[in-house]
Amino acid sequence: MTRVSISEARRRLPQLVRAVKQDRGSVVQITVRDEVVAELRAALPEPEPGAAARALLELARKLPKPRRRGRPTDVSAHVKEYLYGRRR
């Protein structure tokens, strides 16, 4: 982690960007009067479209199948009971 003042960051910005691009794990902290006000780091790679949906479907496949006994429950008629429990 490198700390540079804002005036130095203005002068060396192209060099700092190249350094962050080469070493994706590096972080440059920009300071004003010795207080960190910003960080320069590599951008995160964009996930491929549909990756989250595929991961959720894979997790759903791994869950145990629900056992259904008796009549189905009408959740919408008892929303507060399901959210907050039964009052005693």
Average pLDDT, the chain: 88
Residues 57-74 have pLDDT tens digits of 999 888 888 777 777 777
Compute the distance between CA of residue 62 and CA of residue 55 in angstroms, rounded to an integer: 11
Compute the distance between CA of residue 28 and CA of residue 41 in angstroms, rounded to an integer: 7
Residue 37, domain extent: 2-41
How much is the pLDDT for 88?
61
* Residue 82, C-beta contacts closer than 8 angstroms, at least 6 positions apart: 75
Residue 72 in domain: no
Q: What percent of the chain has pLDDT over 90?
A: 56
Residue 26 in domain: yes
- When pLDDT is averaged across residues 69-86 and rounded to a whole number, the result is 76
Residue 49 in domain: no
